[in-house]
Amino acid sequence: MAIALVDAASIIVATPTVLSGAHPVAVQSVFLTNALKPKLKFASMIGSYGWGGKTVDQITGLLKNLKIEFIPEVNIKGHPSDKDLNSLDELADIFYEKHKQLGLIGG
């Protein structure tokens, strides 16, 4: 993961909510990312939950040492609806445009 972060412009953390917080493996990964301080420009989160929680706050808090633009997350309650799937498409489009503006994507 550390090697992948060297050249990464963005990070999207995808995690389910477990006991009102992010999955422990996601927490560990985000903690490591924050400690390594890669030159990321953008971050977001994709999450799922059943009855609420603090996952979004937890993940953004763990990335506090990075100077990044947070793109609004997609946090889905239960089984994803068509609206939720459209939100994921919109998130992908936002990252595409951000990377294109940086000259990372041609066209």
Q: Which domains does the chain have, with CATH numbers?
A: 2-101 (3.40.50.360)
Question: Residue 62's pLDDT is what?
Answer: 95
Q: What is the model's pTM?
A: 0.88
Question: Residue 59's pLDDT is what?
Answer: 94
Question: Residue 50's pLDDT is what?
Answer: 81
Give the torsion sign (CA, 36, 39, 43, 46): negative
Residues of the chain with pLDDT under 70: 107
3 and 33 Cβ atoms separated by less than 8 Å = no
Question: What's CA 81's distance to the chain center, in Å?
Answer: 20
Distance CA 36, CA 66 (A): 9
Question: Residue 107's pLDDT is what?
Answer: 63
Question: Residue 12's pLDDT is what?
Answer: 97
Question: Residue 94's pLDDT is what?
Answer: 97
Question: Residue 88's pLDDT is what?
Answer: 97
Give the ranges where 1-107 is alpha helix by DSSP (H). 2-6, 24-36, 55-62, 82-101
